[in-house]
Chain A
Amino acid sequence: MLFMATAVHALTADEAKAIASGESESRITALNKAVITADEKTAAFIQAMSDDAVKYTEDKVFVIKDDKGYDPVTGAEAKVPDTAEDVVNNNLMRGALDAAQAALKLTSKDDAVRAEAAQALFKEPDESRIPMVEKALAAETNPGIKAQLQLVRAASMLTSADKAKRLAAAKELGANSSPDTKLLLNQRLADETEPDVKAAIIASIASIDGSLVWGDRINAVFSGISLGSVLLLAALGLAITYGLMGVINMAHGELMMIGAYATYVMQGIFQRYMPEAAFGWYLVAAIPVAFLASALVGAVLERGVIRFLYGRPLETLLATWGISLMLQQLVRSLFGAQNVGVENPGWMSGGFTMLSNVTLPWNRICIIIFAVLVLLAMGWLIGRTRLGLFVRGVTQNRPIASCMGVNTARIDTYAFALGSGIAGLAGCALSQIGNVGPDLGQSYIVDSFMVVVMGGVGQLAGTVYAAMGLGILNKFIEGWAGAVLAKIAVLVFIIIFIQKRPQGIFAMKGRSAEA
């Protein structure tokens, strides 16, 4: 607040006019000058500028609010003549306006606002702002923000006309290894003419690159594992319904969608009926609800439709596709066609900063842990419990299992409900990282079938390897080819892979001629 008090003069009519009209270049210069000596009126005027709520004539400027004109300097209402023109801001001007707003925020009392402002200024450095940044530096007490402000000063000095200042700035920036700094240095390198400064910049970039390269590798592996865990969650349920039971469930994605919407409903319930402090726990409460909701729908589907279609896989495919269409429309009727907002609970937002350019988001980390837990639980359920034994028995030899007194029809229902419930869990997890909408399932169905087919039908371990392998492969190709081409490359890879090994990574051993 110190800064506000020392402002000697406020916004003048001439300044306002210079900012609002003329060539972009001269407007930006005027804007940057006005910011140094800003008061509340300047702030309000800049806000109006970026809201496109300013008109101007030959000699006057008006701020438009609720269809009425106001004088920006006096704040008095003024009649806008019909000849007044709208101020047009191009992208250059908008960038300058954003930076100006950030500069004004440097005096905020809130640490978070100041930190954000410093970060924004760092991306749009301008020499004219150096005095202001220095003032803010003098007043700053928070060490983190102070360091950031020093970087802003260095970045601003990088475009200085004084060679010594540029040299110092280039050296100072080399110590900060963040991708933004590298970008900034590269931009300056293109315009730089002095060989000394050029050498300093190149040295700085090299030192930044050295520390960034490990970060990039960690990032790629982490995002690969993260994508892999999402694929794994999406495919685990399918590994039961398709892998073990042989049911082609095209509505699997929609069961995930139900899980995600169940999470959304739980969020609404917590918001409305629970104390604010408990909100963070809604996600924990949503996990069993998502599981049960999807499992219930799955059980109904199995009893109502799918059990009549066992042994007719292609017709199961069509019928479950029909179910998926109906479920999508049902969700549209209940919740609307728009995506709904599911918030991360407080303990999942933010991230864990490993290196300057490596921040692992907590929600991704949680999903990886969650996927591992679901996998372990499922492995235990299938491998160690009586239900799992029955499921495996029915899968391997239905008539014999039946002769042993297993109620095969009931086991089918349980197994299908279990697979559907796991899809619900996947939906619950996906609601934390993606959009929740009626189309949520559609975007995962092809991927999850790919994972199961690739891993080998009926093989849990195969599903895990396939999910992780495809996730990491996808992210590495993405690194040099872009997201869409990576996706296409992975699909083509799978198609070719299946030609070579139609049974997936792990083939079931047997002598069947049909296999």
Chain B
Amino acid sequence: MSNTKVVLPTKGPLLSGKGWTAFFVALIVVCAVAPVLNMVVPAGSPLHMSDYAVALVGKIMCYAICALAMDLIWGYTGILSLGHGLFFALGGYMMGMYLMRQIGRDGNYKSDLPDFMVFLDWKTLPWHWTFSDSFIATLVLIVAVPGLIAFVFGFFAFRSRIKGVYFSIITQAMTFAAMLLFFRNETGFGGNNGFTDFKRILGIPIATQEMRMTLFALTGLTLLGFFLFARWLIGSKFGRVLQAIRDAETRVMFSGYNPLPYKLTIWVISAIMCGVAGALYVPQVGIINPGEMSAANSIEIAIWAAVGGRATLIGPIIGAFIVNGAKSWLTVAYPEYWLYFLGALFIAVTLFLPNGIVGLVKKWLSREKAVPAAPNAGREEAQRAMAAAQGVEPEALHAPLIVTEVKGARA
């Protein structure tokens, strides 16, 4: 009726001054410091970064991309996916197909076909390997295949308004079905053993130090790029609608928004990010097999995000590094205790750390500073009250919370 203008909250900068400094430090570390430490500094020096460390950090950065993707869909949109392992593996398989073709005639059987096909007595490449010899096509497929599968699955699931745990369970069923399919030799993805023994990428040998470092830097750049992208996305109006969907989907619908395109878009973006992470992971680790699609892997991605702190972008990255760092140390030092540790982590984080490590640090910092109420605290207060009346807890209010105890329903 009235002509009062709706005043949108002002958009903050993409990163704060300190944020940008940290971002560029990370950029320099990944692209300059790490290669120098690995290749120039002699092996005896305490500053030398071993090849093992390069491989490990490279791998964890891939995981961090997955955690970031999981955070977008779970932390910001409230949809817990147990199917991200599938998208990760699909990206990996697309890359793996290209790498298998790059082996050329250097395999055990000296054939144009990958070894496992010779072993199965296949004479020609199956149809889905058509584009596997082109690097450009592979890059397109890495994005397109997980994206397309996510789109089709997501479209039907979100259209039927499947949410919450239902959605989690059917994503798990989808991943499980795909795992069974990939375990079959007839599917044409190497069955149990998957792809391995890669020799070169773009004609360059894959096992050299230079190639490893290039992949490492590329992974780091991708991670930082996705981080900025996620940051921009979450700050945009689109991101705000996502968070509104998470906090009160019904209310978003009654406000005139159709949640379907929003959920679908973020779901596809998240799947593509996972696919890219998988594609970067495979050449660094040197193997891809259907085990990557097991239910455990997908759930682990969720715990990385939860440990670091959901609905913060830096949290999942930190979480991925902490959990996987602990994993690579514990599985070597105390292999029998790793599962106890991981299990306890799942329980402890859900019971005691709903906002993860980042939430904990924020709480400590806000206690120390005891800042007076922020200018927009009133708005948040109202938001919280309304949400509490509905029995839903709004997450990720932007300023550090002064109210310390966070209790309530959270899905």
A322 at the interface (CB under 8 A from B): yes
Bound state CA distance, A329 and B295, in angstroms? Answer: 17
Residues from chain B with Cβ under 8 Å of A318 in the complex: 299, 302-303, 306, 346, 349-350
- In the complex, are the beta carbons of A305 and B165 less than 8 A apart? no
Residues from chain A with Cβ under 8 Å of B299 in the complex: 318, 321
* Chain A: CB-nearest residue to B160: A499
* Chain A: CB-nearest residue to B349: A318
- In the complex, are the beta carbons of A319 and B347 less than 8 A apart? yes
Residues from chain A with Cβ under 8 Å of B156 in the complex: 496, 499
Bound state CA distance, A309 and B354, in angstroms? Answer: 11
Residues from chain B with Cβ under 8 Å of A495 in the complex: 170, 173-174, 177
- In the complex, are the beta carbons of A446 and B346 less than 8 A apart? no
- In the complex, are the beta carbons of B409 and A312 less than 8 A apart? yes
- In the complex, are the beta carbons of B177 and A323 less than 8 A apart? no
A13 at the interface (CB under 8 A from B): no
Residues from chain B with Cβ under 8 Å of A502 in the complex: 160-162, 166
CB distance from A487 to the nearest CB of B (A): 6
A132 at the interface (CB under 8 A from B): no
- In the complex, are the beta carbons of B173 and A491 less than 8 A apart? yes
Residues from chain B with Cβ under 8 Å of A324 in the complex: 343
Bound state CA distance, A462 and B391, in angstroms? Answer: 30
Residues from chain A with Cβ under 8 Å of B349 in the complex: 318
Given A308-B351, A446-B295, A491-B177, answer yes or no on A317-B162 (Cβ-Cβ < 8 Å). Answer: no
Given A333-B336, A495-B174, A500-B160, answer yes or no on A325-B181 (Cβ-Cβ < 8 Å). Answer: no
- In the complex, are the beta carbons of B184 and A484 less than 8 A apart? yes
- In the complex, are the beta carbons of B80 and A317 less than 8 A apart? yes
Bound state CA distance, A488 and B345, in angstroms? Answer: 32
- In the complex, are the beta carbons of B339 and A498 less than 8 A apart? no
Bound state CA distance, A315 and B353, in angstroms? Answer: 11
CB distance from B91 to the nearest CB of A (A): 21
- In the complex, are the beta carbons of B172 and A446 less than 8 A apart? yes
* Chain B: CB-nearest residue to A248: B165
B195 at the interface (CB under 8 A from A): no
Residues from chain A with Cβ under 8 Å of B118 in the complex: none
* Chain A: CB-nearest residue to B161: A502
* Chain A: CB-nearest residue to B391: A311
A514 at the interface (CB under 8 A from B): yes
Bound state CA distance, A305 and B306, in angstroms? Answer: 17
- In the complex, are the beta carbons of B157 and A499 less than 8 A apart? yes
- In the complex, are the beta carbons of B80 and A326 less than 8 A apart? no
CB distance from A494 to the nearest CB of B (A): 6
B361 at the interface (CB under 8 A from A): no
* Chain B: CB-nearest residue to A314: B80
- In the complex, are the beta carbons of B250 and A315 less than 8 A apart? no
Within 8 A of A (CB), among B312-367: 336, 339-340, 342-347, 349-351, 354
A332 at the interface (CB under 8 A from B): yes
B: number of interface residues (CB 8 Å): 46
CB distance from B114 to the nearest CB of A (A): 22
User: Which of A323, A449, A496 interacts with B169 by CB under 8 Å?
Assistant: A449
Residues from chain B with Cβ under 8 Å of A485 in the complex: 184
Given A326-B339, A514-B250, answer yes or no on A487-B180 (Cβ-Cβ < 8 Å). Answer: yes
A513 at the interface (CB under 8 A from B): yes
A36 at the interface (CB under 8 A from B): no
Main secondary structure of the interface of B (DSSP, over half): helix
Q: Interface extent on A, as a size class?
A: 35 or more
User: Which of B157, B166, B340, B351 interacts with A329 by CB under 8 Å?
Assistant: B340
Within 8 A of A (CB), among B152-198: 156-157, 159-162, 164-166, 168-170, 172-174, 176-177, 180-181, 183-184
B22 at the interface (CB under 8 A from A): no
Residues from chain B with Cβ under 8 Å of A487 in the complex: 177, 180
B410 at the interface (CB under 8 A from A): yes
- In the complex, are the beta carbons of A329 and B336 less than 8 A apart? yes
- In the complex, are the beta carbons of A498 and B170 less than 8 A apart? yes
Given A326-B339, A329-B339, A499-B156, answer yes or no on A484-B173 (Cβ-Cβ < 8 Å). Answer: no
* Chain B: CB-nearest residue to A324: B343
Given A308-B351, A488-B181, answer yes or no on A325-B346 (Cβ-Cβ < 8 Å). Answer: yes
Bound state CA distance, A333 and B156, in angstroms? Answer: 44
- In the complex, are the beta carbons of B343 and A323 less than 8 A apart? yes
Residues from chain A with Cβ under 8 Å of B374 in the complex: none
Bound state CA distance, A450 and B168, in angstroms? Answer: 12
A508 at the interface (CB under 8 A from B): no
Residues from chain B with Cβ under 8 Å of A326 in the complex: 339-340, 343-344
Within 8 A of B (CB), among A482-515: 484-485, 487-488, 491-492, 494-496, 498-500, 502, 513-514
A328 at the interface (CB under 8 A from B): yes
CB distance from A239 to the nearest CB of B (A): 14
Given A309-B351, A313-B164, A495-B170, answer yes or no on A332-B336 (Cβ-Cβ < 8 Å). Answer: yes
Residues from chain B with Cβ under 8 Å of A499 in the complex: 156-157, 159-160, 162
B385 at the interface (CB under 8 A from A): no
Residues from chain A with Cβ under 8 Å of B168 in the complex: 248, 314, 317
Bound state CA distance, A499 and B168, in angstroms? Answer: 14
Bound state CA distance, A350 and B156, in angstroms? Answer: 48
Bound state CA distance, A330 and B336, in angstroms? Answer: 9
- In the complex, are the beta carbons of B351 and A484 less than 8 A apart? no
Known A309-B350, A311-B391, A514-B250; further 12 A-B contacts with Cβ < 8 A: A314-B411, A316-B350, A318-B299, A318-B349, A322-B350, A323-B343, A325-B342, A333-B336, A446-B176, A450-B173, A484-B184, A492-B177
4 smallest CB-CB distances across A and B, nearest first, come from A322-B346, A326-B343, A329-B339, A325-B343
Residues in chain B within 8 A of chain A (CB atoms): 74, 80, 156-157, 159-162, 164-166, 168-170, 172-174, 176-177, 180-181, 183-184, 250, 295, 299, 302-303, 306, 336, 339-340, 342-347, 349-351, 354, 391, 409-411
A-B contact pairs, 22 of them (CB 8 A): A248-B168, A312-B350, A312-B409, A312-B411, A317-B165, A319-B351, A322-B347, A323-B346, A326-B343, A446-B295, A453-B169, A453-B170, A495-B170, A495-B174, A495-B177, A498-B162, A498-B170, A499-B160, A502-B161, A502-B162, A513-B250, A514-B250
